[in-house]
């Protein structure tokens, strides 16, 4: 049986951030998919590919939508400059890959930027902002 899961709930809960913190991705894999006898799980743009693959004890297939998003960005952005932006340090690699996909598709350079973001007890903070966004169409990854 193959589970096609366009959105894998709790995929971002793939590691412990505090003592006794559950690793929910593994729990979902074990209690929902493996208990049902799933042989392989196919999903789209997971947060952390290695953690996704390690959470499951069956075959995993990760599909990327970067090429599709790059095409949409190219059509929507118009002729002006484009900047691909990561809302936090953890998304820098995903944003860089999207930037590269956009540049390959269009042949045009794209800017890049990111922000500092920390979470603690439900409070989000951070002050660092890096990147040039003036007069650009800015697209943020998650």
Active site residues: 117
* Region of residue 50 (left: phi > 0; alpha: psi -120 to 50; beta: else): alpha
What is the rounded distance in angstroms from the CA atom of residue 1 to the CA atom of residue 141? 32
Task: Give the three-class secondary structure for 11.
Answer: coil
Number of neighbours of residue 64 by Cβ within 10 angstroms: 15
CA 75, 71, 45, 59 dihedral sign is positive
């Amino acid at each position: 049986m193959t589970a096609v899961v366009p959105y894998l709930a709790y995929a971002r809960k793939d590691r412990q951030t505090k003592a006794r913190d559950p690793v929910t991705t593994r729990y979902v894999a074990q209690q929902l998919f493996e208990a049902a006898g799933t042989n392989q799980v196919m999903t789209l743009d997971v947060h952390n590919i290695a953690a996704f693959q390690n959470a499951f004890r069956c075959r995993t297939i990760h599909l990327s939508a970067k090429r599709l998003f790059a095409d949409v960005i190219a059509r929507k952005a118009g002729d002006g400059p484009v900047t691909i932006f990561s809302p936090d340090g953890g998304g820098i690699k995903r944003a860089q890959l999207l930037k590269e996909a956009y540049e390959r598709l269009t042949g045009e350079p794209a800017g890049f930027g990111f922000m500092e973001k920390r979470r603690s007890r439900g409070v989000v903070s951070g002050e660092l902002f890096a990147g040039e966004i003036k007069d650009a169409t800015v697209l943020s990854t998650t």
